[in-house]
């Protein structure tokens, strides 16, 4: 009996309390985000037609899951990786005004993921997008949007802590901004993930600007597809990139958690430039890319916010398996269940 009591104390919320808390986190944060960014909720696809250019190519190396449809034998269909480009088209069709936008509960399957405490083949996120003007494609506008995304997170945590005061995670008051080039200069001997670890441990909440473009050491901080976020435009401070990642320090995990990648989307000019840099000009023949070049799509800013990662963070969980039903390795099922509740 004593052994069981010790094991229970390692887990702050049991499985029943966790299920209720996950629902509260998701319901609260989606409402807060929608209020801050003037978003309406929309329905979204699970799969799209292959070859249109609509699907998100992520880092450009991941393979989407193809689906065979009995009544459409000649049509190639694939499950979405995210809705980065689909959302932009949707905003155009809805005719939304400036500073108005959409969000959806997006689910995707990414079979190339390496399973660990933060990664699953099932991706669930709030995919959001907001319309802006060409003049608003600035670093200041990006930062002001990050502030709203982070404010929604802090307000959600305040409510969660009222319901579950035993939780120990506490978000810092402010989010710290740093460019990936500046981060490289601070820690030139470290890997990108090691640099993220050091800066997030120091500040607690960080927005890392400029992800995808080549840095001074000849390498990008991380991969980013060339046709949604703008990572090649040079801002007034002489650095490149109108995108970035939100990193939060987790006390439970004792490391940084990337809860969101987001950014101002490519213009016709930056799309051409980034496709040239990445040697993927062939994408200019795809329907979505043709529409963007022809200026048929609105200017937007957008991103994805991991639902399970936000739940992990706010509920002090040590593994994504505690907040998400998915497929796990035998090692996770047999070893980690000693200290976590696998859903």
Catalytic residue among 82, 89, 125, 260: 125
In the annotation, is 260 catalytic? no
Catalytic residue among 256, 261, 270, 308: 261
Q: Which H/E stretch holds residue 196?
A: helix 192-203
In the annotation, is 291 catalytic? no
CA-based angle 226:229:233, to the nearest 5? 85
Per-residue DSSP letter, 65: P
83 close to 127: Cβ distance less than 8 angstroms = yes
Catalytic residue among 110, 137, 195, 224: 110
Phi, psi values for residue 90, rounded to 5°: -60, -45
Catalytic residue among 245, 260, 283, 308: 245
CA distance 131 to 297: 10
In the annotation, is 258 catalytic? yes
Per-residue DSSP letter, 62: P
In the annotation, is 88 catalytic? no
Angle between helices 307-315 and 139-163 (to 10 degrees): 50
In the annotation, is 114 catalytic? no
Going by C-alpha positions, the residue among 288, 279, 230, 276 that lies closest to residue 53 is 288
The full length of the chain comes to 343
Phi, psi values for residue 193, rounded to 5°: -70, -35
Phi, psi values for residue 51, rounded to 5°: 90, 5
How far CA 114 is from CA of 14, 62, 76, 118, 340, in Å, comes to 27, 12, 26, 10, 19
Angle between helices 15-37 and 307-315 (to 10 degrees): 120
CA distance 289 to 102: 21
CA distance 25 to 53: 33
Going by C-alpha positions, the residue among 133, 116, 125, 110 that lies closest to residue 58 is 110
In the annotation, is 261 catalytic? yes
Catalytic residue among 56, 57, 117, 229: 56
* CA 277 to mean position of chain CA atoms: 24
Which residues belong to the active site?
A: 56, 110, 125, 245, 258, 261
């Amino acid at each position: 009996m004593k052994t069981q009591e010790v094991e229970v104390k390692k887990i702050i919320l049991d499985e029943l309390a966790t299920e209720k808390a996950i629902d509260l986190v998701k319901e609260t944060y989606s409402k807060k985000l929608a209020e801050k960014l003037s978003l309406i909720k929309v329905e979204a696809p699970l799969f799209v037609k292959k070859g249109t250019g609509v699907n998100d190519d992520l880092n450009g190396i991941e393979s989407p899951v193809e689906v065979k449809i009995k009544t459409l034998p000649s049509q190639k269909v694939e499950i979405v990786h995210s809705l980065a480009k689909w959302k932009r088209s949707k905003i155009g069709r809805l005719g939304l005004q400036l500073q108005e936008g959409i969000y959806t509960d997006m689910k995707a399957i990414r079979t190339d993921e390496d399973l660990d405490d933060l990664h699953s083949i099932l991706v669930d996120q709030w995919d959001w997008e907001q319309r802006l003007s060409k003049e608003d494609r600035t670093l200041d506008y990006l930062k002001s949007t990050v502030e709203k995304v982070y404010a929604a997170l802090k307000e959600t945590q305040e409510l969660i802590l009222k319901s579950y005061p035993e939780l120990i995670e506490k978000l810092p008051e402010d989010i710290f901004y740093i460019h990936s080039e500046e981060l490289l200069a601070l820690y030139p001997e470290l890997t990108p993930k090691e640099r993220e670890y050091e800066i997030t441990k120091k500040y607690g909440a960080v927005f890392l600007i400029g992800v995808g473009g080549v840095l001074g050491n000849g390498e990008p901080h991380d991969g980013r597809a060339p046709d949604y976020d703008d990572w090649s435009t040079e801002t007034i401070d002489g650095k490149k990139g109108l995108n970035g990642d939100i990193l939060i320090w987790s006390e439970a995990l004792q490391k940084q958690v990337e809860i969101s990648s987001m950014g101002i989307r490519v213009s016709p000019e930056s799309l051409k430039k980034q496709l040239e840099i990445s040697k993927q000009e062939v994408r200019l023949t795809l329907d979505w890319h043709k529409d963007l070049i022809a200026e048929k799509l609105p200017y937007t800013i957008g991103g994805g916010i991991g639902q399970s990662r936000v739940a992990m963070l706010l509920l002090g969980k040590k593994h994504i398996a505690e907040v998400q039903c998915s497929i796990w390795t035998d090692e996770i099922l047999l070893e980690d269940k000693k200290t976590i509740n696998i859903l």
